[in-house]
Amino acid sequence: MKVSVKHLLFSLSIFLVSAHFFGQNLFMPEGVTYKKLDNGFSYYLLPEDSERGKITVNLISTIGSLVETPEERGVAHFIEHMVFKGSKNYPGNETMKTLDKMGLRIGRDYNASVNSTKTEYHINLPEGNWDYLKQTLLLMKDWVGDLEMGEASFKIEQKVVIEEIRKRHSAISPYLNGTILEGHGGLGTEQQINGITAERVKDFYKKYYTPNQFALVIQGKVNEKKVTRFIEKLFSKIPEALNKTQRNYIDLTKTTVVDSNYVSVISPEIPWLVMAFKFPSYAINSKAAVKNDFVQYLFCKILENRLASYPNTMLSGTKVNTSQILPGTTMFNVRLKGNNSITYTEMLNGFCEVVAEAKANGFNQEEINFFIQEYINNITEKQSDGFMTLAEVEKHFLKGEVPLEKEQQLALLKAIQQNLKPEAFNALLNAFTNYSKTILFDSTLKAWNKDFSESYILNKIDNIDSEEFQLETFKFSEPNSTFVKRNKTNLPDIKLEEVSPKAVLNKKVIGDNLYSLTFNNGLTVLVNKDKEARSQIRLVSKLGLKYLPENESVVFKEAVNLFNNQFNNLSREDSPALLRRYMFTAKSKISENYFEFELRGNNTHLNYENLLKGFHLIIAKENTPDSEDFLHKLKENLSLINFKNTDFNNDLVQRLFGYNQTFKRSFNNAYVYVGGNLPENIDDLIATYIGGISKVEEPNGQGVVLQDFNDLEPKYIEEARGKIQKRASFIFKNKLERNYTLKDQLTADAIAEYGYAQIFETLRKKLGLIYSLGADAYGNRESKTSTVSLRYIADNNNLERCKAVMINEILKPMRSGIISKENVAISKAKVSSKMQLYFYDENVLSNTYLKNALKYGRLLKIDDLEKEIKNIQAKDIQQLMKRLIHWSENNF
């Protein structure tokens, strides 16, 4: 072939530009502060990655449970528990007491976890509180190298960890079979934990809790200069590790394992052939590494599609992907799922034929282009956060992956797309079957025969090139997309009869990007302009099942989601079709005290006006459902099969629809939440599509039966949690002679916080009898009752002892109103911190916050709540505690 000099020079210039482009390193995106100190300790500041009003301080370690030797099983997890048991500058109980005084509750506001490849500690703090942040950093500095490891704490925590092991079951990776890590799930066994010595724990801690293994990540807005100065001054004091380990995790890339005892946890009766081809991991820190990683992704997608297209296949599923088994070891993971007629030999032969054909003829440009474009489309459609997240910087710290902004990622992908040819895959095709392997299958299934042995399998794979296969050259046809469609563009506006906007009677600022709009129809709308919030409109009404006749409340509870399906001039087929087309999800929910309706928009390119129109249609333009279809669905409902107290006829349908309309449109008894990435004219749109809905008056009481709230007896309830454990709940109620107030609710919350602390201190920390616990308080304004629930999970063998300790050491002092001034302050601080930390949580705003507004008649600001909490006196807690915590021998 004759090649002109001009064409050769042009090709060479393209190569040089491409080589220069892909030879460049990647750098941390703007908006992220990152530094590694001289001793190896790293820190990151992520100012945008947090909810309003909250910052989260994370301490992350590269050390997970799979660094452990057989003699160390469970030690990494054990140290995670010991972190809260005292350190050099916070000895004994001072760590927990310091966190208590900040108003933080373990499990809710701070916690720790260990998985196979990392350890993580996090503490949530109110935004703008420098004293709390400083105290948190001082605590975490001690955790990296200065723990106490007291003998008494060690013995108690052994019991707590064993309780956790009994409660939880760790996932065990089958890819570790045949290695010293086989069967290791991270927590260890009871026998292993009982066999751990304090000396072994201290040795592990000294070896691995070194500054080079840790990173600090702060999510949320802080004074960057002040914080970075403090971090660098504080954490640079930690001595550099003297004996740095070159590799924490074992190398699996040189080990081949064939295991015939693999049982799928998903479908154990179906034959699975799993083949992992292992190779060394590498950091994705340059454009060349991004390209290499993307080539491997495409390789997996193409191979997966070819296996799924194998002619006359009896495979019912194929999956090929890359994933990391351990730091340092990555795999091409091939999972073939057969049917009950296939043999493992046929499955392996099919795989070998597909690979042999690909090696002989290569991949084709058409399939490469298809999967590149599919991936680019998916990235394009994804709604970008617009900032770096904790998950992304964790990858940077743990794996060396430099995070990419969406625009940068798309530019790289399009550059790859321009130059990627079939030849780029040839080296990988020819090499991957020669990697060390882990092969998994189940020899107890009929798909297996004795000839399907280790030697047969390995010989078959190793000699793919020399086998004679009859497979024709692969012809590509587009598969169904593997991505879930979350984006629809160019959808037309939903058509409505002209609706006029109504005047806003009152606009009130509640908080940061949070305000309310009140309209003449009696409705108040809470508007949440947090761009990261889900797109949803949610109505919450205080008219619940208790407002219905008893017989029909049972039926309505089952019928509530049969509504929302027919509105405006659309048929019962076209109405749901409209919701599906616009990717809307409508759902109703009803309880004794509340009715809730939610319309959620799932389209990443949502036109919010259409979501408001959809809400308007369902609330204002809903039609009576087709009686025949409605009654048929009711009669098929398993919960109503034996229900004989109501005639299932057209009159019932009309009554149920009337209740539905009352619950949705009795606006004096409801609030609406509007949240998401809202347009600038959102107030006008709300005024049009919500402010203009006509209300339905609440029934005047005819046929309404209010429930009896006079059951004030305390209760002790045991509920099974697996075979060997139960949850024990102590529930106390008190009825006031006067009106129930917000202060009563907050006082009950403080009592619940105190009860939780006492259970933790006594049953878990002192005696090690439990692992999991909880406490809640709630009130009913109509019945003037406060309720406090205290609970824990214990082994069946320990239930009686826990109950006796609970009554004698915790509840009896509470019944007498005994609580110290320090614990009053701590309990109030915990109620306050809970309000501050989770006030802006969208799940709280759209649910609990609105219910409290219905209960107390107004939308409360943080300042309102803080003022009420400050006004709670020790005597208020003592008096309510005496009235609440009461029982007789018959109760327990």
Give the residue extent of every domain in the chain.
33-235, 257-466, 504-689, 715-884
Q: Is the pLDDT of residue 480 over 80?
A: no
DSSP state of 375: H
Residue ranges in 313-385 assigned as alpha helix (H): 344-361, 365-381
Give me the pLDDT at residue 8, please: 38
The predicted pLDDT at position 755 comes to 98
Contact in structure between 144 and 209 (CB atoms under 8 Å): yes
Beta strands of 3-98 (E only): which ranges?
A: 33-36, 42-46, 54-61
Q: Let me know if the fold of 257-466 is the same as that of 715-884.
A: yes
pLDDT at residue number 15: 42
Task: Provide, rounded to the nearest whole percent, the portion of the chain with pLDDT above 70.
Answer: 95
Q: Check residue 698 and give its pLDDT.
A: 65
- Band of the pLDDT at 483, cuts 50, 70, 90? low
Could you give phi then psi for residue 214, rounded to 5 degrees?
A: -125, 150
Which ranges in 489-595 belong to alpha helices (H)? Answer: 550-559, 574-581
Taking only the tens place, the pLDDT of each residue in 82-92 is 999 999 999 99
State pLDDT tens for residues 27-54: 888 889 999 999 999 999 999 999 899 9
Helix (H) or strand (E) holding 322: strand 315-326
Q: At residue 837, what are phi and psi to the nearest 5 degrees? A: -70, -35
Bridge partners for 506 per DSSP: 518
Look at residue 581 and tell me whether its pLDDT is greater than 60.
yes
Residues 129-139: tens digit of each pLDDT: 999 999 999 99
Q: Which residue has the tokens 């008494």?
A: 152
504, amino acid identity: V
CATH H-level superfamily of 715-884? Metalloenzyme, LuxS/M16 peptidase-like (3.30.830.10)
DSSP per-residue codes, 568-616: TT--TTHHHHHHHHTTEEEEEEE-SS-EEEEEEE--TT--HHHHHHHHH
Give tens-digit pLDDT for 268-281: 999 999 999 999 99
* Residue 629, both tokens: 């279809």
CA 596 from chain centre, in angstroms, equals 23
- Distance, in Å, from the CA atom of 362 to the CA atom of 216, rounded to the nearest integer, reads 46
What percentage of the chain carries pLDDT values higher than 90? 76
**pLDDT value, residue 705:** 42
Q: How far apart are the first and last CA of the chain?
A: 95
355: confidence class by pLDDT, cuts 50, 70, 90: very high
Cα-to-chain-centroid distance, residue 368: 34
- What fold does the segment set 257-466 form as a domain? Cytochrome Bc1 Complex; Chain A, domain 1 (3.30.830)
pLDDT tens track for 407-434 = 999 999 999 999 899 999 999 999 999 9
pLDDT at 23: 63
Q: Which residue has the higher pLDDT, 807 or 159?
A: 807
pLDDT band at 703 (very low <50, low <70, confident <90, very high): very low
Topology, domain 33-235: Cytochrome Bc1 Complex; Chain A, domain 1 (3.30.830)
**pLDDT bucket at 706, cuts 50 / 70 / 90:** very low
Which residues are CB-contacts of 839 (< 8 A; sequence separation ≥ 6)?
A: 53, 511, 845, 849, 862, 865
Q: Per mean pLDDT, which range of 156-170, 650-664, 869-883 is the poorest?
A: 156-170
**Across residues 581-609, what is the average pLDDT?**
95
Rounded CA-CA distance 132/677 in Å is: 32
Give the distance from CA 168 to its chain's centroid.
18
Specify the amino acid at residue 402.
Answer: V
**Banded model confidence at residue 247, pLDDT cuts 50, 70, 90:** confident
Contact (CB, 8 A) for 661 and 533: no
pLDDT-derived band of residue 6, with 50, 70 and 90 as boundaries? very low
Confidence of residue 7 (pLDDT cuts 50, 70, 90): very low
DSSP assignments along 59-77, one per residue: EEES--GGG--GGGTTHHH
The tens digit of pLDDT for each residue in 427-437 reads 999 999 999 99
> Helix, strand or coil for residue 723?
coil
The string of pLDDT tens digits covering residues 711-738 is 789 999 999 998 899 999 999 999 998 9
Nearest-angstrom CA–CA distance, 249 and 118: 11
- Lowest-confidence segment of 132-141, 189-198, 255-264, 536-545 by average pLDDT: 189-198
**Residue 710: what pLDDT?**
61
Residue 879 to residue 875: CA distance in whole angstroms: 6
To the question of domain 504-689 being in CATH 3.30.830.10, the answer is: yes
pLDDT higher than 80, residue 749: yes
Average pLDDT, the chain: 91
Q: Of 426-440, 644-658, 753-767, which gets the smallest average pLDDT?
A: 644-658
Q: What is the pLDDT of residues 605-632, one digit of tens each?
A: 899 999 999 999 999 999 999 999 899 9
Q: What's the pLDDT at 386?
A: 73
DSSP 707-722: PP------EEEEEE-S
Residue whose pair of structure tokens reads 């000839």 in the numeric block: 451
Predicted confidence (pLDDT) at residue 641 exceeds the cutoff of 60? yes
Specify the amino acid at residue 247: R
Angle (CA) 844 848 854, round 5°: 135
Cα-to-chain-centroid distance, residue 165: 22
Q: Pairing relation of β-strands 214-219 and 42-46?
A: parallel
Minimum mean pLDDT range among 67-76, 460-469, 638-647, 662-671: 638-647
- pLDDT at residue 448 greater than cutoff 60: yes
Question: Could you tell me which residues are beta bridge partners of residue 331?
Answer: 278, 323
CA 488 to mean position of chain CA atoms: 25
4 falls in which pLDDT band (50, 70, 90)? very low
Asked whether residue 863 carries a pLDDT value surpassing 60, the answer given is yes
